[in-house]
């Protein structure tokens, strides 16, 4: 096991504690569940159709502010990562820039490339039921 593996374990344990301690409310966890369900490979950019959001209970005509607040909260949850030189960096789970295109009916967001392996790990470690509860 190398230092990066240890860092990932520490961060996963911290993340799990924060979920259990309700750092994220139920709405935040639903959105996080949707984001994690789409993480694949080394992709950074993700598009979500409004239908996917509606399936979570979002009517974007009335809940747009709630969606933005949840996305901001997820973006402000920082994970520490260590680069090859041993320098530590803090990155939000997602970039703090996301767009709702009402005409195209799409939410677009970006995850930090450096966090994709961590997010993939979360995706496979937690059942989606655990995240949403």
What pLDDT digit, counting tens, does each position of 16-59 carry? Answer: 666 645 678 888 888 888 898 898 888 899 999 989 888 888 77
Residue 68 has pLDDT above 60, yes or no: yes
Phi, psi of 78 (to 5 degrees): -95, 140
- pLDDT, position 5: 41
Which residue would you say has higher pLDDT here, 5 or 95? Answer: 95
Residue range 82-98, pLDDT digits in tens: 767 778 888 888 999 99
Residues 78, 91 contacting (CB under 8 angstroms): yes
Output the DSSP codes for 59-116: -HHHHHHHHHHHHHHHHT-EEEEE-TTS-EEEEESS-S--EEETTTTEEEEE--GGGH
CATH of residue 69's domain is: 1.10.10.10
- Per the structure, the count of domains in the chain is 1
Write out the residue range of the structural domain in which residue 75 sits: 3-132
| Secondary structure of residue 26 in the 3-state scheme | helix
pTM of the model: 0.78
- pLDDT, position 1: 36
Mean pLDDT of the residues in the chain:
78
């Amino acid at each position: 096991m190398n230092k990066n593996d240890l860092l990932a374990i520490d961060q996963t344990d911290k993340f799990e504690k924060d979920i259990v301690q309700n750092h994220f409310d139920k709405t935040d966890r639903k959105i996080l569940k949707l984001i994690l369900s789409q993480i694949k490979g080394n992709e950074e950019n993700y598009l979500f159709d409004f239908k996917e959001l509606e399936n979570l209970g979002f009517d974007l005509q009335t809940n747009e502010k709630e969606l933005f607040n949840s996305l901001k909260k997820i973006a402000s949850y920082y994970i520490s990562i260590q680069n090859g030189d041993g320098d530590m960096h803090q990155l939000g789970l997602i970039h703090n820039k996301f767009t709702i295109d009402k005409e195209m009916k799409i939410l677009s967001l970006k995850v930090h490339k450096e966090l994709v392996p961590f997010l993939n790990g979360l995706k496979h470690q937690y059942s989606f039921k655990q995240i949403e509860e």
